[in-house]
């Protein structure tokens, strides 16, 4: 097992599953942000029933599950066996859902057809060097299809490759994964450089309350 997979398995064991219903009483929903009942939904993907959609770093699969309930074919990829074990346990009964344990770029380099849309919610797009990831994503997308991803906005002055620490017990060092932090303007520039069009990158403010960090949401077209 790679160090990355070990780290994300440790993360998976610490993270709760999504609650059973949202504030509207729905049993599945799409959430781009780190806050419950906040922000836009699956409409950002601009796809309808029958579309084939790829989730990069799908985690415990709740967003992918929602897409299948909307009639889409959702393919979720995640490097963590633990995340996918939880995803299969909760959502494995959904016939439109396909889950793969793989590293995102390696998965996209395997044969497997094109996708109408690709998304990543605090997922593999955040944790992979965009110089390697973006060409691989574009190669697998239907021209004009949407790539949408969300992540935490950068801390001012801290740009490019950063260390994310995944804590373990008091007796063990934390595990480390790399993430790539850029502000909206740099994401716009990177995406255009890699042939994407119609780029819109914005920081959605946090909902009213004590927490203030917003969510960077980037939308573009292959």
Token pair, residue 148, equals 């949408």
Distance CA 68, CA 160 (A): 34
Residue 103 touches ligand SAM, criterion: CB under 6 A: yes
Cβ 122 vs Cβ 151: under 8 Å: yes
CB of 80 vs ligand SAM, minimal distance in Å: 4
Q: What are the helix (H) ranges across the chain? A: 3-14, 62-69, 81-91, 104-109, 130-139, 184-193
Interface of this chain with ligand SAM, residues 107 to 126, rule: CB under 6 A: 121-124
User: Which member of 128, 215, 219, 220 binds ligand SAM (CB under 6 A)?
Assistant: 128
Give the torsion sign (CA, 161, 166, 171, 172).
negative
Site for ligand SAM in 158-187 (CB under 6 A): none
The interface region with ligand SAM, picked from 54-62, 140-148, 185-193, 206-214 by CB under 6 A, is 54-62
Bridge partner residues of 164 (DSSP): 177
Q: Which of 47, 67, 79, 87 binds ligand SAM (CB under 6 A)?
A: 79
30 lines the binding site for ligand SAM (CB under 6 A): no
* Residue 78 binding ligand SAM, by CB under 6 A: yes
Window of 73-81, 166-174, 193-201, 204-212 that interacts with ligand SAM by CB under 6 A: 73-81
Cβ distance 13 to 41 under 8 Å?
no
Stretch touching ligand SAM by CB under 6 A, among 21-29, 40-48, 77-85, 200-208: 77-85
Q: Is 65 in the site for ligand SAM (CB under 6 A)?
A: no
- Give me the torsion for CA of 193, 47, 31, 195, rounded to 10°: 0
Of the candidates 94, 53, 46, which has an alpha carbon nearest to the alpha carbon of residue 77? 53
- Interface residue list for ligand SAM (CB under 6 A): 8, 57-59, 77-80, 83, 103-104, 121-124, 127-128
């Amino acid at each position: 097992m790679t160090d990355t997979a070990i780290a994300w398995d440790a993360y998976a064991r610490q993270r709760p599953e999504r609650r059973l219903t949202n504030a509207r009483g729905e049993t599945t929903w799409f959430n781009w942000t780190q806050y419950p009942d906040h922000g836009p939904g699956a409409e950002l993907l601009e796809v309808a029933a029958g579309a084939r959609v790829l989730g990069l770093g799908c985690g415990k699969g709740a967003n992918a599950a929602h897409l299948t309930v909307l009639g889409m074919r959702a393919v979720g990829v995640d490097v963590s066996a633990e995340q996918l074990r939880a995803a299969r346990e909760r959502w494995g009964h959904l016939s439109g859902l396909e889950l793969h344990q793989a590293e995102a770029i390696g998965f996209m380099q395997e044969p497997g057809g094109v996708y109408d849309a690709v998304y990543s919610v605090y997922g593999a797009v955040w944790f992979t060097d965009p110089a390697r990831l973006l060409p691989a994503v574009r190669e697998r997308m239907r021209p004009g299809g949407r790539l949408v991803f969300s992540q935490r906005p950068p801390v001012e002055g801290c740009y490019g490759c950063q260390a994310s620490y995944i804590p373990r017990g008091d007796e063990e060092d934390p595990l480390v994964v790399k993430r790539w932090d850029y502000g909206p303007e740099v994401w716009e520039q990177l995406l255009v450089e890699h042939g994407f069009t119609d780029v819109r990158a914005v920081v959605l403010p946090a909902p009213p309350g004590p927490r203030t960090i917003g969510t960077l949401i980037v939308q573009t077209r292959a």
